[in-house]
Structure 1
Amino acid sequence: MKAIGTFSVTSFVPTEVTQDPPVTTALPVGLATIEKHFDGEVTGRSATLFTSAFDLSTGVGTYVAMESFEGALNGSEGTFNFAHSATTGGTDRSNEFFLIVPGSGTGDLTGITGTGGLSVDADGGHHIWFDYELG
């Protein structure tokens, strides 16, 4: 099955990171928590732990995120986790990864497995899709 939706970031809170042991690289490592709200065939909200090595001035870097979703896909309600990552050279996205965490589903979404993706339009619109199975 496929569910397509849009989302907005309603909260992005950077958190101070202290590495132990300290390691200095050319791109600083950051951590943030994010809240998103979803509309369309994907409805609900998510809480995200977002880590990145990123240069704000050039837009170059990579992120890794773990999201906990609460809502519905095509009307099936429940919760699940999904992980995603991507790299950017400043104007592109590459090396994308997106996976629904097996065994994380509850409610109507118990047993959910699959993949998906994210995209951002040139005008800033955020899109998400899940290719999933329930079992």
Structure 2
Amino acid sequence: MNLEVASGPFDVKLSQEPPSAAAEVAGIGRMSLDKHFHGALDATSRGEMIAFRSTTPGSAGYVAMETVRGQLAGREGSFVLQHSATMTRGEPALSITVVPDSGTGALQGLTGHMTIEIAADGAHRYRFEYALPPR
């Protein structure tokens, strides 16, 4: 399958959530995600992130899962994104991947990965490289 590309802005709201007892002892924070993607991916998502921030400035890590519901290139359904990110003294490394076989509706069989950019003014943009089986 050839990869297609969807890109555009997205809005995100992060809300602090109470940590589990184990996470609290370990110093791990928990947040809920609420996003709205615009462009060829016209969708909303809800998810959860857990994160740790080191005492070394600019070093941290997070993992997250989010379910995306809406339309991708005119095809409606949902899919799950899995995030894994680290920041090493200000140098980011981020992986956002479609969970295999998580697509529903017209998005069944979806594969792909996403990158995000955060501008100096805080504006968020995504680039989603994906493949879908033929209709």
Please tell me the TM-score bracket, short chain as reference: 0.7 to 0.9
Per-residue CA deviation, residues 51-109 of structure 1 (Å, 9 max, x unaligned), is 10125994531111111000111222110001112222464422x21210111101111
Provide the residue aligned with 2:22 in structure 1. 19
CA distance in 1, matches of 2:54, 2:61: 10
Q: Identity across aligned pairs (percent)?
A: 34
CA distance in 2, matches of 1:58, 1:132: 35
| C-alpha deviation, 1:4, in angstroms | 0.7
CA distance in 2, matches of 1:44, 1:120: 19
C-alpha RMSD over aligned residues: 2.2
Question: Gaps (5+ residues) in structure 1?
Answer: none
Provide the residue aligned with 1:102 in structure 2. 100
Aligned residue type for 1:8: D
In 2 relative to 1, CA 90–41 (structure 1 residues): closer, same or farther, beyond 3 Å? farther
Aligned residue type for 1:113: T
CA distance in 1, matches of 2:97, 2:104: 16
Structure 1-normalised TM-score?
0.83
Provide the residue aligned with 2:127 in structure 1. 129
Question: Gaps (5+ residues) in structure 2?
Answer: none
Number of residue pairs the alignment of both structures matches: 130
Structure 2-normalised TM-score?
0.83
Counterparts of residues 10-49 of structure 1 (less than 5 Å): 10-19=13-22, 24=26, 28-49=27-48
2:21 counterpart SS class: coil
CA contact (8 A) 1:41 1:74 kept: yes
Higher share in helix: 2
